[in-house]
Amino acid sequence: MKKGKAMIVSLAVCMGLLAGCGSTGSGTDADSGADTVQGEVQSTESGKEKRNITLTFGTHQSGLPTSGVVQELAEEFEAETGIKIDFQITPDDQWRDLLKTKLDSGEAYDIMCVDADPLSLYSRINPEQNCVDLSDQEWVSRMDPIVLPGVSYNDKVYGIQFPGTRVSACVYNKDIFADLGLEVPRTYEDFKAVCQAIKDSGKTPLYEACQNGWHQVLPLFETGSYYVTLYDDLYDKLNKNEMKITEVTEIRTILGQMKECADLGYFGTDFLSQSVEGGVDAFGTGQAAMMYQSMDWIDEVINAYPEMDGKLGIFCLPWADNQSVSVNPTNNAYFININSKYVEECKEFFDFLARPENLQKRLDGGGITSVCWPEIESRERPEVVEYINSLPQGTVMQVGVSYIDPQWMDVGKDIDAMYTGTMTPDEVFQNIEKRRTEQAQLQKDPAWAE
């Protein structure tokens, strides 16, 4: 759990904008419109005391399941304690900058949802300065040790995580493939042929979601499991600045292939404005044939469109002819603002979420197939597990390589510019290394000392 130390994972598959600021809690009951006194104790018919307190919970769109299960649990928590959770949701592409601004100004939320990983946690949220040390909480020992490095800093635990290890691949509609006589592609050239046949049929071959700002970046860095098979000790050399990103020429190859597919219309006509959330409907209605997503997403589609059960398969998306699967042990995690007036109440909410019965509700209602709590049995689909176990596996690049994840949204903007023709694949490629160098020097990383 030491700062800056990458965790390499070997998988045994387990598979709004801001309405107000918030570290002080809300002083108004938004539902009734009546002013309330924070911390006021109210009696109930059962004799239990409830506190009239509102905790602000800042998050980005992708930080909460689309099913609303976390909000439902928050309502149950409020019914039990009187403590209300005010969710303030920001678009994905604005969240990281907004959170940093809020932290710097001392106006951050009581609870903060953060993309947690061991390499970027310090630069993203500086937990020693901004977050409550949760190491002594009972639930810490119950979380899967594999996720602890992502929510820890200098041997102290600062966050709580719920989703389990993520594995992503290309989800596809079996019926569309069967109707068109298509087979799962294993090379990029085969993939293009499949896309063209699907496009000719009037459907979107590969649903891309650029609106969120992060989905278009996945092909570059989630192909890390392939890169490490081509270069000895790749992640270690990159982290020691003994090798440059620009030496991993397969990243440039994939950028060129992404641009080619966009120009050929394989992502659809409006992919720059498509959202990740819209992908569920595109699949459920049969408008799209493929989408790169985590395996949990299959259940999300089936929950919304039960008739899709049994009709979705997966394969390794063959950018640069890749035939390996990348594993990501990190996910969204929740942290408590050290300057919150309601630290104990925030801890109480975390305790509530960590109850076994509520962990089960989180699994059952969150569009996920596992939680990072071994006491709760996962529910991965056997055919998914079998396929993924048949392929080589490795860690995603953003978890294994320093200064990749912090520039994720910037890379997304560059890719958008590449799609519109204002940047070339070469320029996007060079920018990744340029930003790595700038960030390393800003962090005074000794490996980049001149």
123 and 69, same domain (yes or no): yes
Q: Is residue 276 part of a domain?
A: yes
Average pLDDT over residues 408-424: 97
The pLDDT tens digits for 276-299 are 999 999 999 999 999 999 888 898
Q: Is residue 3 part of a domain?
A: no
Q: Is residue 29 part of a domain?
A: no
Q: Is residue 99 part of a domain?
A: yes
338 and 433, same domain (yes or no): no
Contact (Cβ atoms closer than 8 angstroms) between residue 164 and residue 231 = no
Quote the CA–CA distance of 52 and 30 in Å, as a whole number. Answer: 12
What was the pLDDT predicted at 238? 97
The pLDDT tens digits for 175-220 are 999 999 999 999 999 999 999 999 999 999 999 999 999 999 999 9
Of the given ranges (49-53, 71-75, 213-217), which has the lowest mean pLDDT? Answer: 49-53
115 and 175, same domain (yes or no): no
Average pLDDT over residues 44-51: 56
334 and 324, same domain (yes or no): no
Q: DSSP letters along 32-99, please?
A: T--B--TTEEEE-TTS-EEEEEEEEEEEEGGGS-TT-HHHHHHHHHHHHHSEEEEEEEE-HHHHHHHH
252 and 399, same domain (yes or no): yes
Contact (Cβ atoms closer than 8 angstroms) between residue 170 and residue 290 = yes
Average pLDDT over residues 338-350: 97
Residues contacting residue 430 through CB under 8 Å, at least 6 positions apart: 246
179 and 101, same domain (yes or no): no
SS3 288: strand
Per-residue confidence at 2, pLDDT binned at 50, 70, 90?
Answer: very low
184 and 160, same domain (yes or no): no
Question: Domains in the chain: how many in total?
Answer: 2
What was the pLDDT predicted at 119? 87
Q: Is residue 24 part of a domain?
A: no
346 and 276, same domain (yes or no): no
Using CA atoms, how far residue 299 sits from 274, 303, 389, in Å, is: 21, 6, 19
171 and 91, same domain (yes or no): no
Contact (Cβ atoms closer than 8 angstroms) between residue 358 and residue 73 = yes
100 and 208, same domain (yes or no): no
305 and 420, same domain (yes or no): yes
Q: Is residue 376 part of a domain?
A: no
Full residue range of the structural domain in which residue 192 is found: 166-328+384-448
Read off the DSSP letter of residue 110. S
140 and 259, same domain (yes or no): no
What was the pLDDT predicted at 48? 56
Q: Is residue 18 part of a domain?
A: no
Read off the DSSP letter of residue 337. B
The pLDDT tens digits for 428-450 are 999 999 999 999 999 899 999 86
Domain containing 220 — which CATH number? 3.40.190.10
